[in-house]
Chains A and B, each alone.
Chain A
Amino acid sequence: MRLNRMAAFGASVLVLLSACTTGGGGAQAPAGTTPVQVPPVATDTISPGATQTDPGAPTPSSPAAGSPAASGSPSGGGASGPTLASTLVLGAPPECPERPFCAVGLRKKYGIEFKEIRALDPGGPLTVAAVEKGQVDVGLLFTSDPAIAIKGFVLLEDDKQLQLSDNLIPVIRREVLDASPEIADLINPWMAKLTQEELTELNRRVSIDQEAPADVVEEWLAENGLQQAQGEAPGQGKRVVVGSTNFYEQEILGEIFAQVLEANAYDVDRRFNLGNREIVFPALQAGEIDLLAEYIATALEFVNKGKGEASADPAATAQKFRQRLEPLRLTALDYAPATDQNGFVVTQETARKYDLSKLSDLARPAP
């Protein structure tokens, strides 16, 4: 209940934000002055324009042999015309249409394209509320989100393995790690301790119980035996800038890094709640932030511009990721067992109505 009201309010804040991102919005000149031209406000919905004429999946009468979409044609065999997905609305972050593990991957791997992709927050309360209220049919959440279980959403099984090894991994500037190689030894043991259960529990305490990330992390670190360094601490006189994007899980990870380093006498500067990868990667490269939590497969495909190098093997994906980070003067520490993948959810009602349990069900012909 509280979450709902909160999300409704947050929605208006975000609408304001998205209106603002075009520059102006509602600037009105008072009477008697030259009216200021109001620029077009960015629409917050992105329609895959060609849905009707080009349902993404090739029809049997036009065998698109050799086309990359061919491998993703609906398994239903006799699928002709629009798919079930083309009658549904997906709620996802604004960058979804360009992301390989979102709209692009859904089209290539599953042959599905939604009627509309409504731009919402990255797996936050807005998306949860939109799914719950039926404003979108399918919502993109993260698999470590405790709201999925609490709201009783049906997580559609990723039966064609679109989502790959999205284990949490700290990305660090090469220069910082070279100057302070001990940072790896300080952070890595904590990544090893971060299992799926631990991560989901930390997320639950912040997003459901409304506890402050700093407090939750402080308790978790203390319970798991974080020692305050005595005497000659490695971080004496060293400054590290820890970043995070505007997603609570990121802030939790940022707090873990920050507090572990602070316990070793590092001077930590927190730059949390930054924008998405388009902001934080340039910031990492420019040396504005030194350390940031990432998700191996998604971050690799961001850095390599969607070359499809990520796999279901986290070790191989992490190795490839480090190679790709090299020219950016960045590297990555050890990844955690915990993953956080894109998860597509529907309400139980929607699942029953269309008989949905896995993503490929969305590629069935429209009713």
Chain B
Amino acid sequence: MIRWDWIGRNLDDIAESLAEHLTLTVIAVLVGFALSFAASLLIHRRRWLYAPFTSVSGFLYTIPSLALFAFLVPFTGLSLLTAEIGLVSYTLLILIRNTVAGLDGVPAEVREAADGMGYSRSQRLWRVELPLALPVIVAGLRIATVTTIGLVMVTALIGQGGLGQLMLRGFNRQFPTMIYVGFVLSVALAVIADAALLLAQRALTPWSRGGVR
């Protein structure tokens, strides 16, 4: 059923697909997080921005990837950029909602205590609110990362796709080994990335150790 000899002969190809998958995911999550973080801080200051930001990111989330890529290809080609525009826009909704929810979850008493201790607004944000919001923000990052690892596959439509490309090629050629390899590696990637983010969050929030995650 599994052609181990094919795997042996194509380790380079497989490693390349895995690396491409990882690159597509990391760029998408980092850029998506940077944009969402900035947006969330804006929303935190100017509450009325919440509705427009979430409806725009919600709208982006519902655009079918084929339509998005068909629209983008004349401008940005079959490139990494086209793939990332799609992937980044699909992370925004999750990340903005979670970051804002995290900041909102900081108890009012804590905020008042910080004010009482003479913290400025930005001191309060960086030293009190963000650390307390971290578990929820990381929870958003974990969903976004795992979702993106799955979504990278659709960028195979434009010749990117990492492991998705491997699986699609296997499917077209009716060569199951390629599908199994792509499947196992992408699941492993998702599990490892999720665990790594969880560990990073634990390390960054020592005070919550032993409590709820």
Contact = CB atoms under 8 A, between A and B. Distances in A.
Contact of A210 (B135, B153, B174): B174
Interface stretch (B25-33, B91-99, B121-129): B91-99
Interface string A34-63: 101101101000000000000000000000
Given A9-B179, A13-B167, A248-B173, A20 B153 contact: yes
Contacts of B60: 23
Would you list the 5 A-B pairs with minimal beta carbon distance, nearest first?
A275-B157, A34-B101, A282-B73, A278-B70, A288-B77
Contacts of A206: 173
A124 interface: yes
Contacts of A42: 64
Interface string B47-80: 0000000000010111111100110011101110
A323 B206 CA distance: 70
A30 interface: yes
Interface stretch (B15-23, B109-117, B136-144): B136-144
Nearest to B65: A21
Interface in A225-277: 246-248, 251, 271-275
Interface string B161-202: 000110111011111100100010000000000000000000
B152 to A, nearest CB: 9
A213 B173 contact: yes
Nearest to A40: B62
A124 B171 contact: yes
Contacts of B74: 282, 285-286
Contact of A23 (B64, B159, B171): B64
B151 interface: yes
Interface of A: 2-3, 5-7, 9-10, 13-14, 16-17, 20-25, 27-30, 32-34, 36-37, 39-40, 42, 121, 124-125, 206-207, 210, 212-213, 246-248, 251, 271-275, 278-279, 282-283, 285-289
A151 to B, nearest CB: 13
A208 to B, nearest CB: 8
Contacts of B150: 16, 20, 25
B158 A279 contact: yes
A137 B58 CA distance: 38
Given A29-B98, A275-B66, A279-B157, A210 B139 contact: no
B169 to A, nearest CB: 6
Contact of A24 (B100, B136, B147, B183): B147
Contact of A273 (B61, B63, B168): B168
